[in-house]
Amino acid sequence: MPPSEAAIDGNAVPAALAGLGAAVTTAGDTDTFAVESPFDGRTIGEVPACGPDDVAAAVDRAADSGWEDTEAADRAEILVRFHDLVLDEQGAILDVVQTETGKARRDAHEEVLDVAATARYYAYRAESALETEPRKGALPGLTETEVNHHPVGTVGVVSPWNYPLNLSVGDAIPALLAGNAVVFKPAPETPYTVLKAVELLRAAGVPESAVQVVTGDTSAGEAVVEATDYVCFTGSTAAGRAVAATAGETLTDCSLELGGKNPGIVRADADLDRAVDGLVRGCFSNAGQLCLSVERLYVHTDVFDRFVDRFLEATESIDLGTGYGYGVEMGSLISERHLEKVNTHVEGAEAEGATVLTGGRARPDVGPYFFEPTVLSGVEKPMAVATEETFGPVVSIYPYETDAEAIELANDSAYGLNASVWTNDTDRGRELAAEIEAGTVNVNESYVAAWGSLDAPMGGMKASGIGRRHGIEGLHRFTESQTVAVQKYTGLSPPPGVPYWLFVKLLNGTFRLQRRLPGLR
């Protein structure tokens, strides 16, 4: 249920935020910094500005948690309880997420559903996925080989502000189930969401020491990268390169989901009503502050005018607002700084000859950081909006004539995170999807179909990152694979009295036999 309007219209901090800051790990007295609500720019609280000493204390506590000694089945049971708590406490979670992100409640609810689904998916699969696996040995019948999956140790989760719940806890869930402790470093704009999630993890039964939180700026994030045994980072490509460089110095493994300049392709045979509805969501969900958001839209010339008319009509009908109910369709940008970036992209494109078909203005009448959903045409390189991730409610629309041209345009980007293809010929849609250089491609959906398919890996190509979350791959990344091979009966050298030439002949014969018998290959 949404809170009373007094929760945001007055000066009172929503009850769900009360006391959360006390869970931040510090080594002693430390300075604090203010957290504001994008809805109205007011301060909603202060949290510690953690430094390297605080991070070291958090990592030490996590490393001594003993969580890795908990049986996999018991860890799974705890995460099932967490699943239930997330659904039971979703009202309070949504209040926190909305208050510090300014997003619409329907967008915040996507985060709740995603975290619950992730907990359920991994909790019911982790035990079997982590069991010792038999593998084919070097010599059939003589070598017994198995693989163990050991936890890596302490996982650092450096998460962004745009989806502060699922892009932090979504990585922590498989890390915890694999037996690792976790140190969270949330974005300074959105610490309370992570603190709320940690409160629920502990309530479900995760030991307090196994889930630590440090809050602060980039320096705290750098300290987490340097001190932990595996790093999950979600953010910009520039920041991701810095994380990778630091991790490279310490040979720390990492997964990085970075920026995107995601394309959408509308073929001539697409259901236009369905495409318009799906692409409005794909372009403007969370005010476009979505790594998977469509920012480049390619529409076949045969349907271009009809699609644009319908798309503009739907875009102009989007309801902007600061409410805590589900009626608001689009919320705020995160900050004044980000508003300036989005505005600069649009104004720069206009100055260089692009046309604003709709939107294009800040909306201070709604809230300090609101920006209208915006559609541009005539966008060309080297305009910033043509090549850089805007990360706001802005999409550029282009006509195309052939499938080959659409694929070439879609792939003409340094990024490769997400894409979508809209067509009534789903077989052709699959073929085109396979030609797009992106880690996930949706046919007749913008992003939810691929993101929500938790059994399949998700991540970026090219400058959009390395590594994968989701699927069993998303669990095994938090483990060290260890091969144990037992050689039985005889060694891998000639037995006493057997000349080496005969030993070679026997080995060659064994290889030829393995080639012929499918069960031995």
Q: pLDDT averaged over consecutive 10-residue blocks of the chain (521 residues)? A: 44 78 94 96 96 97 97 98 98 97 98 98 98 93 95 98 98 98 98 98 98 97 98 97 96 97 98 98 98 98 98 98 95 98 98 98 98 98 97 98 98 98 98 98 98 98 98 98 94 90 92 90 84
46 three-state secondary structure: strand
Question: What is the DSSP code string of 360-429?
Answer: -SB-TTT-TT-B--EEEES--TTSHHHHS---SSEEEEEEE-SHHHHHHHHH-SSEESEEEEE-S-HHHH
Is residue 291 flagged as an active site residue? yes
Question: Nearest to residue 230, comparing CAs of 52, 478, 481, 58?
Answer: 478
Angle separating helix axes 72-88 and 166-177, nearest 10 degrees: 160
Please identify which of the residues 36, 111, 189, 257 carries the catalytic annotation. Answer: 257
Element (H, E) at 164: none
Read off φ and ψ for residue 236, nearest 5 degrees: -70, 160
Three-state secondary structure call for residue 146: strand
82-137 tens-digit pLDDT: 999 999 999 999 999 999 999 999 999 999 999 999 999 999 999 999 999 999 99
Q: Verify whether residue 283 is a known catalytic residue.
A: no
Residue among 100, 111, 291, 389 flagged as catalytic = 291
Angle at 448 between CA 443 and CA 452, to 5 degrees: 110
79-to-27, 118, 122, 413, 464 alpha-carbon distances in Å: 29, 10, 9, 39, 30
Give residue 6's pLDDT. 39
Q: What are the backbone angles phi and psi of residue 184, rounded to the nearest 5°?
A: -90, 135
**pLDDT value, residue 381:** 95
Q: Are 29 and 18 in contact (CB under 8 A)?
A: no
What's the pLDDT score for residue 4? 42
Classify residue 205 as exposed, middle or buried by CB count within 10 Å of its CB (0-12, 13-18, 19+). middle
